[in-house]
Amino acid sequence: MSPERISVEASEHVLLIGLNRPAKRNAFDLQMYQELGQALARLQNDAKLRCGVLFAHGEHFTGGIELPQWLPFFRDGRMPPLPADALDPLAREAEHTLTKPLVIAVQGWCLTIGIELLLAADIRVAAQDTRFAQIEIKRGIFPIGGATVRLVQEIGWGDAMRILLTGDEFSAAEAYRLGLVQEVVPPGAQLERAVNAMEDWARCNPDHFYSVRPLPAGGAR
């Protein structure tokens, strides 16, 4: 097994979950995808934990997926399998979805699966230097992690189609204008802002508060 791709640290009632493959711009190989699912399951199952923060080590949130590992599954029209003790990081099925609040902090490149992780979270904080793009169309593949449904729900048909059909890059300021992120902060401040928000929330709110994420109708497409 390669070194762990995900760092996990509990801070009082908050679980900090970090993408930890900075030398590869935190590109998602299958190991990272599976470990993230297991980290979310830990958050779900630990009664002491009330909420989570997903962030990334290094300069970039994620450069997307490590395509050669994912293509065999895409060709069969399916997602890679997850371990039995994992939740779905993309929240595509209710029975395998985190129900505790999750805030996500992004910086640098946030491509493909990075946007789909944003769409599966509750609150999104971006550094001013974040660059977003849903570039599957430029690779001749389909955004299979829920973006084709959730982007429309979040930002409306026209803007969602512009992002999905062109694969063009857009800025943190544009993501804020569209409602894809709720706050834009100076570079380097995104994690602290996300953690402070969740720590304050966790101290003030009851254990039984749950997040109810809207699922893509008929499953992710």
Helix (H) or strand (E) holding 102: strand 102-106
Q: Which neighbouring-strand residues pair with 52? A: 15, 102
pLDDT of residue 220: 41
Q: Which residues of 105-116 are buried (b: 16+ CB within 10 A; e: fewer)?
A: bbbbbbbbbbbb
Burial of 208: CB neighbours in 10 Å, binned 0-12, 13-18, 19+: exposed
Question: Residue 156 has which token pair?
Answer: 């409306």
Contact predicate 133/170, CB 8 Å: yes
pLDDT of residue 209: 58
Q: What does each of the 221 residues of the chain score in pLDDT, given as a tens digit?
A: 578 999 999 988 999 999 999 999 999 999 999 999 999 999 999 999 999 999 999 999 999 999 999 999 988 888 999 999 999 999 988 888 999 999 999 999 999 999 999 999 999 999 999 999 999 999 888 888 999 999 999 999 999 999 999 999 999 999 999 999 999 999 999 999 999 988 777 777 655 555 655 655 444 43
pLDDT of residue 49: 93
Question: Residue 113 has which token pair?
Answer: 């699966």
Domains by residue range for the chain, with CATH: 6-204 (3.90.226.10)
Alpha helices in the chain (DSSP H): 30-45, 67-75, 113-119, 136-139, 147-155, 157-166, 172-178, 190-204
Largest alpha-carbon pair distance within the chain? 47
Catalytic residues: 116, 136
Q: What is the pTM of this model?
A: 0.92
User: How many residues are present in the chain?
Assistant: 221
pLDDT of residue 221: 33
Q: Which neighbouring-strand residues pair with 13? A: none
Contact predicate 160/115, CB 8 Å: no
